[in-house]
Structure 1
Amino acid sequence: MDLVRHLEYFVAVAEERHFGRAAAILGVTQPPVSRAIKALEKHLDLTLIERTPDGAAITEHGAALLPRARLIVDDARRLTSTARSLTSADTVRIGLVPQVDDALAARIAASVGVQARVETAGAVALLDGVRAHELDVAVIDHPVVLDRLVAGPAITLPRQVSVPVAHRSSRAKRPRLTMLSDLVFATTPRAANPPAHDLLLDAFRHHALDPEILWANTFRDVAVAVASGRCFGLVPAASPVLPGTCHLDLAAEDVALRVRIVRRDEKAEPSARLIDRILLQAAR
């Protein structure tokens, strides 16, 4: 049996709670969906969906298997998408560290002018992707251990310190980093890029700040942590001030994000040049 297809039908029915609506979303008629559910139930020896007067109800067993079924269906779609990108001469595979904000990431993807596949990961993982020919070009934070890979010059992107709106530093006429000693620093895990992480903490210590660390993989994680009132974080200078937060200009040179572009081969050189121009514009 086509297990992935049958799981796709199961996920659609479970989410829609209706065979007809699920069939419409899947672009098929209702009978194939009903047959697929019955075949899947027979294969698993479990009842997953029960018909009701209002449509369909997921059983206890179905609810237990639904998260795993979603993962399998999503992974199958990603595999197909990745395979297509690998065989497409027009596809450029771009890696970005999570410190690159959404607006800048969107500009980079749009600038390539071809089908772009963009993924986010720490610098160490992105460099592994470039070495393994899984990525054509990557924007990584600096410094980092390149291990024989060639990277472009470092570009400095301004950042600000985001603090809780009610914190004393947000009301100070001359705020200083030392005022943040009662807050936890929300930032990407050290394993993402140990040299850059350690260099930033060394800069904080130079300002008499040695904060506790909270791992925050995305800007959303940072914003939520800061808005909660117990953390501070670093955000792009041009990013909007979100509710519950306040942006401060503190130790601008020390907290700035330094990035470099790493490319795999000549194929990615045009994309690397475009990305370089966008980063230089953001640095101004």
Structure 2
Amino acid sequence: MDLLRHLEYFVAVAEERHFGRAAATLGVTQPPVSRAIKALEKHLGLTLVERTPDGATITEHGAALLPRARLIVEDSRLLTSAAHSLTTSGTIRIGLIPQLDDSIAARVAAAVGASARVETATAVSLLDRLRAHELDVAVIDHPMVLDRLAAGPVIALPRRVCVPVAHRSARAARPRLTMLSDLAFATTPRIANPPAHDLMLDVFRRHALDPDVHVAATFRDLNTAVASGRSFGLVPTAGPALPGTAHLDLAAEDVALRVRIVRRDGEVGSLTHMIDRILLQASR
């Protein structure tokens, strides 16, 4: 039995309260998640998760074991990262969230050169790795709790609303966000950065839009969901509209991607300044 993998699946289901969403977050299909939970329950002799019409609920036993499961999963990830960092001494380690345009990542890597290792991960993961001294600097989405870390000013990167090419909003002379009420919002999972996720949903509600959420961990996932006709998403303005999709300029200031450069206090000032210049140029 792969206890660590089963615990990872259990934590994902507990976070998402839904087997399908947990599977999407993990990058697998739903059946392996269901089998892993059943195997874990058999191994422990306890019922951890109960299915409901709306998804899944955690039992009393599951809730009691969840904090320990989270620690085991996280400690395993930190052990792997620490071991990897031992083989890359002298390397400048930069973390970027997946919502950033690929061109920004490429410019950062080109500016730092061969000594750079640019990695992509969620804001929560990047902050954990900064605190563990496994990264030198990171760019995360705002807002986020930054306990014991220093952060630069918030920079707003412009985004467009990506919609299905046949959707009524793509054909409208004066499209509005409220026209997207029949579409789900394709975005990164909430656990990637809960404050930023909730803030964006609040933005939509202020525009009289309260969409369901479709988990899309990458831009490929987002564009696929949009092209299928079931979702809309937010994409960098520099990116082209892919087949089956259209880009709209809607509520530009509200939907901008707000990011900050985060580091351990007093460290890598020149690297921070270099990334700051790249982000400022992309914001114009």
Shift of 1:78: 9.1
Q: Supply the distance in 1 between the matched residues of 2:260 and 2:82 (Cα, whole angstroms).
A: 29
Matched, 1:121 2:134: no
Matched, 1:244 2:244: yes
Matched, 1:256 2:259: no
- 1:232 alignment partner in structure 2: 232
- 2:86 alignment partner in structure 1: 83
What code does the residue aligned with 1:197 have? Answer: H
- 2:106 alignment partner in structure 1: 106
What code does the residue aligned with 2:129 have? Answer: G
Q: Supply the distance in 2 between the matched residues of 1:133 and 1:79 (Cα, whole angstroms).
A: 9
Deviations 1:210-231 (A, max 9, x none): 0010111111111111111111
**What SS class does the counterpart of residue 234 from structure 2 fall into?**
strand
- 1:148 alignment partner in structure 2: 148
- 1:209 alignment partner in structure 2: 209
**What SS class does the counterpart of residue 182 from structure 1 fall into?**
coil
Deviations 1:38-82 (A, max 9, x none): xxxxxxxxxxxxxxxxxxxxxxxxxxxxxxxxxxxxxxx999864
CA contact (8 A) 1:101 1:219 kept: no
CA contact (8 A) 2:203 2:254 kept: yes
**What SS class does the counterpart of residue 151 from structure 2 fall into?**
coil
**What SS class does the counterpart of residue 247 from structure 1 fall into?**
strand
Shift of 1:84: 2.5
- 1:42 alignment partner in structure 2: none
Q: Supply the distance in 1 between the matched residues of 2:146 and 2:267 (Cα, whole angstroms).
A: 20
Deviations 1:166-205 (A, max 9, x none): 0000000000000000001100011111111111000100
Q: Provide closer, same or farther for how the CA distance between residues 185 and 105 of structure 1 changes in structure 2, counting only shifts above 3 A.
A: same
Q: Higher Cα Rg: structure 1 or 2?
A: 1
CA contact (8 A) 1:177 1:250 kept: yes
Q: Supply the distance in 2 between the matched residues of 1:268 and 1:113 (Cα, whole angstroms).
A: 16
TM-score between both structures, scaled by the size of structure 2: 0.69
Shift of 1:114: 4.3
Q: After the TM superposition, which residues 190-205 of structure 1 pair with which residues of structure 2 at under 5 Å, given as runs?
A: 190-205=190-205
Gaps of 5+ in 2: 1-79
Matched, 1:175 2:178: no
What code does the residue aligned with 1:248 have? Answer: L
Q: How many residues align?
A: 205
Shift of 1:111: 1.0
Q: Which moved more, 1:228-237 or 1:111-120?
A: 111-120
